[in-house]
Chain A
Amino acid sequence: MTTSPAVVANPTVEAREVSKWFGQKVAVSDVTCSFGPGLTGLLGPNGAGKTTLLRMICGLLSTSDGSVSIHGTDPRRDHRVYRTVALVPEEDAVYGFLSARRFVTYAADLSGVSRAGVDEAIALVELISAADRPIAEFSKGMRQRAKVAAALVTDPDVLVLDEPLNGTDPVQRAHLIEIFKRLARSGKTVIVSSHVLAEVERMADRVIAIVDGRLAAAGDIHAIRQAMADIPYRLRIDIEQPRRVAARLIDSDNVSSVTVTGQTLRVETSDLPALGTELPRLAKDLGVRLTVFEPEDESLESVFRYLVRRRK
Chain B
Amino acid sequence: MAEGVVFDLGWRPHEGPRLGRAGARIAVYKDGLRRVLGLRRRARRKVFPFVMLSAALVPGLFVVGIGVVLRDFGEIANFFGHAEYFNFTRVLALIFIALAAGELLVPDRVNGTLSVYASRPLTTTDYVAMRAASLATVVAAFLWIPHLALFLGRAWVGGFGSYVAANVEILWETLIASLVYFAAFAPLAFLIAAFSKRAAVAAGLFIGVITIGGQTVAGLVRSGFDVLGLFDLSHNAGYVKDWVLGASSQRWSPELAGYEPWMSLLVIIGVAALCFLGVHARHRSER
Contact = CB atoms under 8 A, between A and B. Distances in A.
A and B from one assembly?
yes
Interface of A: 58-61, 79-80, 82-87, 89, 91-98, 102, 106-107, 109-114, 116-117, 120, 123-124, 150, 152, 154-155, 179, 182-183, 186
A97 B28 CA distance: 16
B112 A91 contact: yes
Contact of A79 (B16, B42, B113, B122): B122
13 contacts: A58-B118, A89-B112, A91-B112, A93-B111, A93-B114, A109-B24, A109-B26, A114-B14, A117-B14, A124-B11, A155-B13, A183-B11, A186-B13
A59 B113 contact: no
A106 B111 CA distance: 16
A297 to B, nearest CB: 37
Contact of A83 (B27, B107, B121, B287): B121
Contacts of A110: 23-24, 27-28, 116-117, 120, 122
Interface in B75-125: 107, 111-123
Nearest to A160: B119
Interface in B1-35: 9-14, 16-24, 26-28, 30-31
A111 B112 contact: no
A133 to B, nearest CB: 13
Nearest to B287: A60
Given A93-B111, A113-B14, A82 B120 contact: yes
A69 to B, nearest CB: 15
Contact of B14 (A58, A91, A150, A155): A155
Nearest to B122: A79
Given A60-B287, A97-B41, A80 B113 contact: no
Q: Which 4 residue pairs are nearest across A and B when measured between Cβ atoms?
A: A112-B19, A112-B23, A155-B14, A109-B27
A145 to B, nearest CB: 14
Among A61, A79, A111, A112, find the residue whose CB has the most chain B CB atoms closer than 10 A: A112
B113 A60 contact: no
Contact of A112 (B11, B107, B121): B121
A46 B12 CA distance: 35
Nearest to B45: A97
B40 interface: yes
B14 A92 contact: no
B16 A116 contact: yes
B24 A123 contact: no
Contacts of A182: 10-11
A259 B19 CA distance: 65
B199 to A, nearest CB: 13
Contact of A86 (B28, B41, B119): B119
Given A80-B121, A82-B119, 8 more contacts: A60-B287, A83-B18, A84-B18, A111-B23, A111-B121, A112-B24, A179-B11, A186-B13
B7 to A, nearest CB: 11
A117 B121 contact: no
Among A59, A110, A113, A124, find the residue whose CB has the most chain B CB atoms closer than 10 A: A110
Interface of B: 9-14, 16-24, 26-28, 30-31, 40-42, 107, 111-123, 287
Contact of B24 (A93, A102, A111, A150): A111
B112 A93 contact: yes
Nearest to A114: B16
Contacts of A109: 23-24, 26-27, 30
B119 A83 contact: no
Given A60-B118, A82-B121, A110-B28, A93 B113 contact: yes
A237 to B, nearest CB: 45
A89 B118 CA distance: 11
Contacts of B123: 79
A85 B12 CA distance: 17
A58 B119 contact: yes
A152 B20 CA distance: 16
B21 A79 contact: yes
Nearest to A126: B9
Contacts of B31: 106
A83 B41 CA distance: 29
Contacts of A179: 11
B83 to A, nearest CB: 39
Contacts of A117: 12, 14
Given A60-B287, A186-B11, A80 B119 contact: no
A232 B287 CA distance: 45
A52 to B, nearest CB: 13
A114 B13 CA distance: 11
A87 B70 CA distance: 64
A89 B111 contact: no
Contacts of A84: 18
B49 to A, nearest CB: 15
Among A87, A93, A117, find the residue whose CB has the most chain B CB atoms closer than 10 A: A93
B153 to A, nearest CB: 39
Nearest to A183: B11
Contacts of B22: 112
Contacts of B12: 117, 120
B14 A154 contact: yes
Given A111-B120, A112-B18, A113-B14, A60 B107 contact: no
A61 B112 CA distance: 14
A95 B23 CA distance: 20
A157 to B, nearest CB: 10
